[in-house]
Chains A and B, each alone.
Chain A
Amino acid sequence: MGDAVTRLAPARRGDLAVTALLAAALPTGFRDRQRGEWLSDLGELRRGERLRYLAGAAWSLPGLRRSAMRHGATSGLAGVPVTGAGTAARVLLAGLIWPVLSWILFVPVRYYALDVPGRLAGGDAEFDPKSLWPFAETPEWLTPLWVVLHFGAWAAMLGGPFLIPAVTLVGVLALTRRRRGGRAIGVAVVAAALLMGAMASLSLGLEMTSGAIAEKLNGIWAVGLLGALAVVCAIRVGDLTRRARAGLVAIGVAAMAITAWSYTTPGQSMIVWFMD
């Protein structure tokens, strides 16, 4: 909003800071408008009234956020402009979190925390990924969570034909869960993703008969590719919040690090252990 905010007198710097803090909780495209409202109101109030006003504004902030997000599209409010690239970047962010974090937890964290290299060198029979923590030593009711994370790690490991449908599936579901109009699109994408996954499984099943399974399965390069795409989106896509941008960079760098690490000697050992 430029003018309305930055041209205030220095005495209003406290108001600028407080309203900026409050506005950070609002949708990006709505922040400046609301900040202008607060600042113009504060300009009329005395000190005691201002504190009361700001308390009221903070109290009603969740409701204001809900209203701005719910009604922004229909009211002509300056909501967050959403482009195709912005939507794709958000799908990528939401979809990539699951395989990347699952892989980190289930492969390197377990590999080193449970001293798998030591077990292998010492001839310890207990090194099977499926019989170590968290599948062992945790309550049974947590098993569904571990299975979901295990599948996430496998999606990262298998790469392309599995990872891209998985990322699309999770990302679209995450984005459309609160949009009534988006459900049909969500269902269509989920169906397409499942179909791609099924076709990939079938083709992989045929290939597994030819041997060299580990070589066929290891598609972790795709994680790095999607990670690089996430970083590019963070830099190039315009209609992203600062939080989404930071998330894309963080998850993108983590994904690229996974791929890079996987091509080192210790990384290859980890992959062989996990895919055993």
Chain B
Amino acid sequence: MPQLRMTTPRLLVLQAMLAEPERERYGLELAGTAGLEPGTIYPILVAFEGAGWVTSRAEEIDVHAEGRPRRRYYRLTLPGIAVAEAAAAKAAQRRPRRPAAGWAAGWVTR
């Protein structure tokens, strides 16, 4: 399984997911929670999935009835939780934790 370099955006996403590790979230929601620019989170999520830190599944809806495309939901795996906790602890030693309040927090309502 490939090892990933821990960058600030990756750390922010892990911290956002670690707040509620059991909860599944979709990309836009996570970007807002992590405080990332919209549309920029997917390289991070794909890398996390490749590293086995998160799993994803397509939303099970009738797209005709809902009138919108399926979302993909992401959740931390057990190794992902361990990595996230270690990374968060390491980051906390270096500097005070950055609040994960993104510009997008306002428009992520669902």
Contact = CB atoms under 8 A, between A and B. Distances in A.
Interface of A: 3-5, 7-9, 33-34, 36-41, 43-46, 49, 52-60, 63-64, 66-68, 70-72, 74-77
6 contacts: A8-B69, A40-B71, A64-B43, A70-B50, A71-B2, A74-B52
Size band of the B side of the interface? 20 to 34
A189 to B, nearest CB: 26
A9 B52 CA distance: 36
B40, B63, B69, B110, most chain A CB atoms within 10 A: B69
Contacts of B102: none
A104 B58 CA distance: 50
B43 A57 contact: no
B24 interface: no
A247 B46 CA distance: 29
B39 A41 contact: yes
Interface string B7-38: 00000000000000000001110000000011
Contacts of A75: 46, 49-52
A63 B27 CA distance: 16
Nearest to B26: A40
Nearest to A9: B67
A167 B71 CA distance: 44
Contacts of B69: 4-5, 8, 36, 39-40, 43
A41 B43 CA distance: 15
A57 B38 CA distance: 7
A196 to B, nearest CB: 36
A3, A43, A49, A67, most chain B CB atoms within 10 A: A67
B70 interface: yes
